[in-house]
Amino acid sequence: MKPFFLFLIYLLGGWAAMLPAAADVPVYVWQHWNDSISEESLERDFHILRTHQVKGVCFNAGFQMERIALAARVAKREGLEFHAWAPAMMQPDCDSTWYAVNRHGESAYRRPAYVPYYTTLDPHNPQVVHWLCEQYARVAAIPEVDYVQLDYIRYADVILAEGLWKKYGLVMHEEYPPADYCYCDDCVEDFRRQTGIDIRAVSDPSKVQEWAQFRCDNVTRCVNAICAAVHAQGKRVSADVFPGPKRHAERMVRQQWDRWHVDAYFPMNYNDFYLRPASWVGEVTREEVETVRARWGQPVYSGLFICRDWRNKANVVDPENSGLTPDELREAVEGALRAGARGLSLFSAESMTPEHWKALSETLERWHH
């Protein structure tokens, strides 16, 4: 028993050594551009973030280069790391032939799934990949940009997170044909050439593992092409991904993200979307950390969804308006860090109330001691 006991102490000690101290816990926040933003408002917002010991801001201005450049310059002046957050596959006005086609033969350009903005590009289309590489390379060329951050780098959710079913009037215990992409002629023919399977002739395509893998591979190739373009500019790539990847990302949106050549992961571990308690954040973060450690060991910054109107959370039905209360934030932060997350990412800057900032600060301080 004694050798085993000593071995157990060694293991636990080694794991503890990998856990970050409070001073070493990077905290990031996501923030959107809006029409009221100015250089002065950015200076004010970013200064406030620095007072809360935030390391970096993930800022979404799409591919609007002037807006990105402005926000990046201000972030640098305030001492913040800058991730230029830009959605990839959800694009409103590209060439109509670039969009994914669902199992019913409907283009996402004309009939998107769920909501009007789900106009989803086809990652198998070489023109789409080329265009995205060009856009992200332009972002990376902005001097003050540290990271290009990929978002919506996926297919539409073939199965929605359970917390969203009621909102959209759906029960999704299997793949949802209107959101099952892509069945365009090129995808169908290339898959048939690779496997000999005519996927349109299959009664239940969700049972064909090769077809699922084909879509995962399409996303992976697209991501890695973008990474090559950004790395050629001397910049790094971070990615907003679904939880898992095995737990949700692969099945729901075809993200085998542990195969991506990105430099940092920001998994969106939004427990309320999955009807799970705050303790779930630690569970899924552990899977994510262990998965990437088995490959290249990129850092995982556990993404936490914050409830701005937290006192009214019990009356909120839509998880997109819900999130972590200050007390739940404490539990989620501790769980994520104990699971080995390198740091945290908060969605969003606008949702963080004084009570949330206090809870975060106290939790990190306790973690340090």
**Which of 310, 309, 302 lies closest to 346 in space, CA to CA?**
302
Residue 340 falls inside a structural domain? yes
Mean pLDDT of the chain: 94
Q: Is the pLDDT of residue 10 over 70?
A: no
Which range marks the domain in which residue 157 is found? 24-368
Residue 11 falls inside a structural domain? no
Residue 12 falls inside a structural domain? no
Q: Is the pLDDT of residue 7 over 60?
A: no
Residue 1 falls inside a structural domain? no
pLDDT, residue 23, reads 55
Q: What is the pLDDT of residues 109-121, one digit of tens each?
A: 999 999 999 999 9
**How sure is the predictor about 317, in pLDDT bands with cuts at 50, 70 and 90?**
confident
Structure tokens at 126: 């070489």
Q: Is the pLDDT of residue 21 over 70?
A: no
Q: Which residue has the higher pLDDT, 19 or 147?
A: 147
Q: Is the pLDDT of residue 15 over 50?
A: no
Rounding to the nearest 10 degrees, give the CA dihedral for residues 72, 77, 80, 83. Answer: 10
Please state the three-class secondary structure of the chain as a single string.
CHHHHHHHHHHHHHHHHHCCCHHHCCEEEEEECCCCCCHHHHHHHHHHHHHCCCCEEEEECCCCHHHHHHHHHHHHHCCCEEEEEEECCECCCCCHHHECEECCCCECCCCCCCCCCCCEECCCCHHHHHHHHHHHHHHHCCCCCCEEEEECCCCCCCCCCHHHHHHHCCCCCCCCHHHCECCCHHHHHHHHHHHCCCHHHCCCHHHCHHHHHHHHHHHHHHHHHHHHHHHCCCCEEEEEECCCCCCCHHHHHCCCHHHCCCCEEEEECCHHHHCCCCCHHHHHHHHHHHHHHCCCCCCEEEEEEECCCHHHHHHCCCHHHCCECHHHHHHHHHHHHHCCCCEEEEECHHHCCHHHHHHHHHHHHHHHC
Q: What is the pLDDT of residues 88-143, one digit of tens each?
A: 999 999 999 999 999 999 999 999 999 999 999 999 999 999 999 999 999 999 99
In which residue are the tokens 């209107």 written?
178
Residue 3 falls inside a structural domain? no
Q: Would strands 301-305 and 264-267 be described as parallel, antiparallel, or unpaired?
A: unpaired
Domain tally, the chain: 1
Q: Is the pLDDT of residue 345 over 60?
A: yes
Q: What is the pLDDT of residues 151-187, one digit of tens each?
A: 999 999 999 999 999 999 999 989 989 999 999 999 9
We report the CATH number of the domain holding residue 304 as: 3.20.20.80
**Which of 205, 215, 203 lies closest to 89 in space, CA to CA?**
215
**Which of 61, 251, 222, 224 lies closest to 138 in space, CA to CA?**
61
Convert 64-96 to b/e letters by CB count within 10 Å (16 or more is b).
eeebbbbbbbbbbebebebbbbbbbbbbeebee
**How sure is the predictor about 296, in pLDDT bands with cuts at 50, 70 and 90?**
confident
Angle between helices 126-140 and 65-77 (to 10 degrees): 40
Residue 209 falls inside a structural domain? yes
Residue 179 falls inside a structural domain? yes
Q: Would strands 27-32 and 56-60 be described as parallel, antiparallel, or unpaired?
A: parallel
Residue 17 falls inside a structural domain? no
